[in-house]
Amino acid sequence: MGTIMQRRKKDGATSYTAVIRKKKGGKVVLTLTETFKSETAAERWIRKTERALSQLVCPQKSCPS
């Protein structure tokens, strides 16, 4: 599951950084980050990206969710 961090820019605006980390054997094997103006957009990106990653790993839906 991804994480969203709220950040305050120098100009006072708020941005949201979405981070997805995948581990294998206790080591991080993949890190994806993206920054958005809204928290909703960050949540949407996390859901979409995690869905795409799970389909790459389990294309026939043979893996447990």
pTM: 0.81
Per-residue pLDDT at 59: 65
Pairwise CA distance, residues 59 & 39, whole Å: 29
Residues β-bridged to residue 35 = 17
What is the b/e burial string over 16-47, where b = at least 16 CB atoms within 10 angstroms of the residue's CB? bebebeeeeeeeeeeeeeeebeeeeebeebbe
Q: N- to C-terminal Cα distance for the chain?
A: 12
Pairwise CA distance, residues 6 & 42, whole Å: 10
- The pLDDT profile of the chain, 65 residues, written as one tens digit per residue, is 799 999 999 999 999 999 999 998 999 999 999 999 999 999 999 999 999 998 887 766 566 55
Per-residue pLDDT at 61: 59
